[in-house]
Amino acid sequence: MPAHGKGAHMSLKPVLDQIDSDLDAAMERLFDLLRIPSISTDPAFKGDVDRAADWLVSDLDSIGITATKRPTTGHPMVVGHVEGNGPHVLFYGHYDVQPVDPLELWDRDPFDPAIEETPKGRVIRARGASDDKGQLMTFVEACRAWKAVHGEMPCRITFFFEGEEESGSPSLIPFLKENADELKADIALICDTGLFESRAPAIMTQLRGLLGEEIVLTGPSKDLHSGMYGGAAMNPIRVMSRVLANLHDDTGRIQVPHFYDGVPDLPPEIKAQWDGLGFDYAGFLGDVGLSKPAGEQDHTALEMIWSRPTAEINGIKGGYTGDGFKTVLPSKVSAKVSFRLVGQQDPHALREHFREWVKTQLPEDVTAEFHAHGASPASQMSTDHPAFEQTRAVLGEEWGEEAAFTGCGGSIPVAGYFKTYLGLDTMLVGWGKDDDQIHSPNEKYDVESFHKGIRSWARILDAIR
């Protein structure tokens, strides 16, 4: 844009026009990627995750970007480079997806994407449509349009795609350490977040961390008949219930010792800003059939999800869970528990406190095993880099609403790792909506999100170059 003092020889307008006219082809490309069931948590899909990485290498190659699939001890990374002038951005997205169960709740094959007309507009329906293949491709398509119109990219870009985000990113830190020189840039861009209230563009500057733990309790050495042993043998589900019931007190406060170490009070000016956002509290819970915030009763729902830590039970299984009834007294029960972390909460210290706290509650005859599932601290972005204010300005132009700096209940640990291992600030922007059903059956991504998302990236690249 000439107003930014950049040469008219690479103007934005024809790039946006190219994006508009190429939209159907861009969706076809996204569909190709969505058809690959790249579920990273399930070893059965290892070959598919690999195939998705190959697809990305080939797609980058089709716009003249040399990219390589880089092996790790888990799933591969994809790294590509575009040399050039101006600032150097590192773009990150993930090409793995969540599992699809319960499959019976899907209205169509999660890996057979389709455009569906809905009362709220056209959507792309598939696992990963929003999280994160569709979002990732908004950036790639913006680059494709820029290249098609101007024959080159507007700035220096490193593409960095991960295949393990949905399974705790076990290879990420080693990879960042080993390839720090190659991955260094001026700023990192991540497209894995959403619009504020599904309408206003948002730059997320505050993200929660995540700690995942699986507890397996064993009582009797084998499954027993509850007629023969019921009453006399300790049932591990009874013990697990007590442990999980003790996670929260009656006011929603989490009872693991030292849990609140490092949890900051919300600064009054941020609280005032959030209170002024006009957040639709009733709609937020009402959309999912609820009416009352379930967390710490001395905080608002927005504070609960943006600035307060949580403990959630993500899954539990033990004994007979099939049709009908079986009077078994089970040997084992397992539960998956995760904690969203804020401020300076230390996930590694907290894992130890949690395990110790569980163990102190076990009666004689019940033993616990623990399995670690990822640990990342919360992130608080610095917004000093000029890209933040530049981006805020152009996003307002694209979406017709002022962009806000917001918080986020989710965890995007990679932003923290970029700071720690590459020294990079990260700007998190994304086009997801609250009803995208990510991690749930019938995930979708609005065609509007995809289209305006591509246009937004074109604007951002133009603004920061």
Smallest distance from a copy of itself to CB 299, Å: 8
Does residue 140 interact with a copy of itself by CB under 8 A? Answer: no
Under rule CB under 8 A, residue 305 binds a copy of itself? yes
Q: Least CB distance from residue 465 to a copy of itself, whole Å?
A: 32
224 touches a copy of itself by CB under 8 A: yes
- 120 near a copy of itself, rule: CB under 8 A: no
Taking CB under 8 A as the criterion, the residue among 20, 312, 356, 402 binding a copy of itself is: 312
The answer to the question of residue 434 lying near a copy of itself (CB under 8 A) is yes
Residue 363 binding a copy of itself, by CB under 8 A: yes
Which residues, 141 to 170, sit near a copy of itself by CB under 8 A?
166-168
* 3-state SS assignment for residue 338: strand
CB of 394 to a copy of itself, least distance (A): 26
Interface of this chain with a copy of itself, residues 275 to 294, rule: CB under 8 A: 284-285, 288-294
Q: Which is nearer to a copy of itself, 87 or 236 (CB)?
A: 236
**Residue 420, both tokens:** 């720690």
Structure tokens belonging to residue 347: 């996930």
**217: helix, strand or coil:** strand
Near a copy of itself in 248-267, by CB under 8 A: 248
Q: What are phi and psi of 307, to 5 degrees?
A: -130, 0
408 interacts with a copy of itself by CB under 8 A: yes
- Out of 81, 125, 373, 385, the only residue in the binding site for a copy of itself (CB under 8 A) is 373
Site for a copy of itself contains 318 (CB under 8 A): yes
d(CA 391, CA 459): 8
Residues 39-78 that bind a copy of itself (CB under 8 A): 40-43
| 462/169 Cα distance (integer angstroms) | 31
129 belongs to the binding site for a copy of itself (CB under 8 A): no
Nearest CB to a copy of itself, comparing residues 11 and 226 = 226
Of 89, 301, 362, 414, the one binding a copy of itself (CB under 8 A) is: 301
What is the SS3 assignment for 255-290?
Answer: CCCCCCCCCCCCCHHHHHHHHCCCCCHHHHHHCCCC
Applying CB under 8 A, among 327, 352, 386, 402 the residue interacting with a copy of itself is 327
Part in contact with a copy of itself (CB under 8 A); list of ranges 77-85, 148-156, 309-317, 398-406: 309-317
End-to-end CA distance of the chain: 10
- Give least dist CB 416 to a copy of itself, A: 15
Beta-sheet strands, E only, within 42-196? 66-70, 77-82, 88-94, 114-118, 121-125, 156-162, 187-190
Q: What is the rounded distance in angstroms from the CA atom of residue 237 to the CA atom of residue 374?
A: 25
Site residue total, a copy of itself (CB under 8 A):
99
Among 216, 234, 270, 368, binds a copy of itself (CB under 8 A): 234
Residues 332-361 that bind a copy of itself (CB under 8 A): 333-336, 338, 340
Nearest CA to 430 among 176, 200, 116? 200
Neighbouring CB atoms inside 10 A of 295's CB total: 20
Q: Contact, 194 vs 434, CB < 8 A? A: yes
Least Å from the CB of residue 158 to a copy of itself: 26
C-alpha span between 63 and 57 (Å, rounded)? 10
Verify binding: residue 440, a copy of itself, rule CB under 8 A: yes
Calculate the alpha carbon distances from 101 to 48, 78, 95, 98, 165 in Å.
17, 27, 19, 9, 18
Q: Which is nearer to a copy of itself, 144 or 373 (CB)?
A: 373
Cα–Cα dist 345/322, whole Å: 40
Q: Letter for the amino acid at 462?
A: D
Least distance in Å: CB of 294 to a copy of itself? 4
| Angle at alpha carbon of residue 284, lines to 281 and 288, rounded to 5° | 140
With tokens 């030292």, the residue in question is: 258
Cβ proximity to a copy of itself: between 22 and 42 the closer is 42
CB of 183 to a copy of itself, least distance (A): 25
* Least CB distance to a copy of itself at residue 235 (A): 6
Alpha-carbon distances of 367 from 224, 269, 363, 364, rounded to whole Å: 17, 48, 8, 8
Beta-carbon count within 10 A of 337 CB: 22
Binding of a copy of itself by 208 (CB under 8 A): yes
